[in-house]
A and B are shown apart, each in its own frame.
Chain A
Amino acid sequence: MNCEEATKLMDGYLDGELDPITSQTIEQHLRECHKCEQTYKTHGSLIRAIGNATPYYNAPAELRQRIQSSLRDEIAERPMRNVVRDSQVLFRRGQPGLRTILSGTPWSWLALAAAIIFAAIITLNLVPRLPRPGADQLLATQLIAGHVRSLMANHLTDVASSDQHTVKPWLDAKLDFAPAVVDLASDGFPLVGGRLDYLENRPVAALVYQRRKHFINLFIWPAASDATRASKTMTRQGYQLLHWADSDFNYWAVSDVNVNDLQTFKELFEKQIPHH
Chain B
Amino acid sequence: MALLLKAEHASEPGDFESDPKIVKFVVVKKREEDHAQQAELTSFEEVMLPHLDAAHNLARWLLRNEQDAQDVVQEAYLRAFKSFGGFHGSNGRAWLLTIVRNTSYTLLKKNHSVDLTTPFDEEIHTSGYESVSPATILEHSEDADLIRGAMDELPAEFREILALRHQEGLSYKEIADIAQIPPGTVMSRLARARAKLKEYLAARIGKEK
Instruction: Please report A residues at the B interface, Cβ cutoff 8 Å.
Output: 8-12, 15, 17, 42-43, 45-47, 49-51, 53-60, 63-64, 66-68, 70-72, 74-75, 78-80, 82-84, 86-87, 90-91, 93-94, 102, 110, 113-114, 116-117, 120-121, 123-124, 130, 132, 138, 141-142, 145-146, 149, 151-155, 157-158, 160, 195-199, 201, 203
**Cβ-defined contact, B165 with A120, below 8 A:** no
Choose from B23, B66, B144 the contact partner of A55 (Cβ within 8 Å): B144
- A71: chain B residues at CB < 8 Å are 41, 44-45, 77-78, 81
- B52: chain A residues at CB < 8 Å are 59, 63-64, 67
**Cβ-defined contact, B137 with A68, below 8 A:** no
The answer to whether residues A130 and B147 also contact, given A58-B57, A83-B26, A94-B9 and a CB cut-off of 8 A, is: no
> 6 closest A-B pairs (Cβ-Cβ)?
A94-B9, A51-B166, A59-B56, A49-B141, A198-B23, A57-B60
A-B CB contact pairs (8 Å), 9 listed: A42-B134, A55-B147, A58-B53, A75-B38, A117-B21, A117-B28, A120-B28, A138-B31, A198-B24
Bound: A9/B188 CA distance, A: 8
- B6: chain A residues at CB < 8 Å are 154
The answer to whether residues A75 and B35 also contact, given A50-B141, A58-B57, A151-B2 and a CB cut-off of 8 A, is: no
**Cβ-defined contact, B15 with A93, below 8 A:** yes
- A93: chain B residues at CB < 8 Å are 8-9, 11-12, 15-17
The chain A residue sitting closest to B169, CB to CB, is A51
Best-surrounded residue of B25, B36, B70, B198 (most CB of chain A within 10 A): B25
**Cβ-defined contact, A120 with B32, below 8 A:** yes
**In the complex, per-residue mask of B137-169: 1 if CB is within 8 Å of any chain A CB, else 0:** 110011110011001000000000011011100
**Cβ-defined contact, B31 with A142, below 8 A:** yes
Bound: A27/B169 CA distance, A: 23
- A141: chain B residues at CB < 8 Å are 30-31, 34
Choose from B10, B21, B191 the contact partner of A113 (Cβ within 8 Å): B21
Instruction: Please report B residues at the A interface, Cβ cutoff 8 Å.
Output: 1-2, 5-6, 8-13, 15-41, 44-45, 49, 52-53, 55-57, 60-61, 66, 69-70, 73-74, 77-78, 81-82, 134-135, 137-138, 141-144, 147-148, 151, 162-163, 165-167, 171-172, 186-188, 190-191, 194, 197-198, 201
Choose from B39, B49, B55, B143 the contact partner of A53 (Cβ within 8 Å): B143
Q: How far is the CB of B55 from chain A (nearest CB, A)?
A: 7
**Cβ-defined contact, B10 with A154, below 8 A:** yes
**Cβ-defined contact, B35 with A54, below 8 A:** no
Given contacts A54-B151, A149-B26, A151-B2, 9 further A-B contacts (CB under 8 A): A11-B191, A15-B187, A45-B138, A91-B16, A93-B12, A132-B35, A141-B31, A154-B11, A155-B11
Counting residue pairs across A and B whose Cβ atoms lie within 8 Å, the total is 221
Best-surrounded residue of A56, A64, A142, A157 (most CB of chain B within 10 A): A56
Choose from B8, B28, B188 the contact partner of A154 (Cβ within 8 Å): B8
Choose from A15, A84, A117, A146 the contact partner of B190 (Cβ within 8 Å): A15
Best-surrounded residue of B24, B44, B73 (most CB of chain A within 10 A): B24
